[in-house]
Amino acid sequence: MIRAALAALLLALPLSAVADPYDTAIGQVAAAIQIARACPGFALIGAGGEQGFVPAATELLKADGLKPNRFKKFWFYGQTGWIEQMKTEALTARGINGANRPALCALGRRVAGTGDPIGRFLVRK
């Protein structure tokens, strides 16, 4: 009885409420990359473009309690479809369709350089 009630409760929660923290982090990082690629005026944190971005992003995530090597493993060896799904979930949670460039850029303008979960990976050029 208790198991059934717990299962029903978990199924009623939005995915983000029960998501693995690495799934969430992958989605946030991928969303930041999409914003930086699609919108003029934004760049990723770190030096040297996307190659310098991963170490800088990993340091931020380490402060959140995530293990850097585990994050890198998921980032570099994760299935592309899964990474895209996590990115879509991160953007959908904000009410944004990733194909809507104006909405992506508006999000970037609101959050870049802030402590926002996506914006912390972005800087203004």
On whether residue 8 sits in a domain, the answer given is no
On whether residue 70 sits in a domain, the answer given is yes
On whether residue 64 sits in a domain, the answer given is yes
Residue 44 pLDDT greater than 90, yes or no:
yes
Q: How far apart are CA 41 and CA 59, in angstroms?
A: 24
Instruction: With 0.85 as the threshold, say if the pTM is over it.
Output: no
3-state secondary structure of 103: helix
Say what percent of the chain tops pLDDT 90: 78
Q: Using pLDDT thresholds of 50, 70 and 90, give the confidence band for residue 1.
A: low
pLDDT number for residue 11: 41
Tokens standing for residue 110: 């609101």
What is each CA distance from 47 to 52, 75, 104, 112, in whole angstroms?
A: 5, 18, 23, 16
Domain that holds residue 85: 20-124
Handedness of CA 62, 16, 119, 86 (dihedral sign): positive
Task: Quote the longest CA-to-CA distance of the chain.
Answer: 56
On whether residue 9 sits in a domain, the answer given is no
Residue 7 pLDDT greater than 50, yes or no:
no
Beta-bridged to residue 122, according to DSSP, are 44
Number of folded domains in the chain? Answer: 1
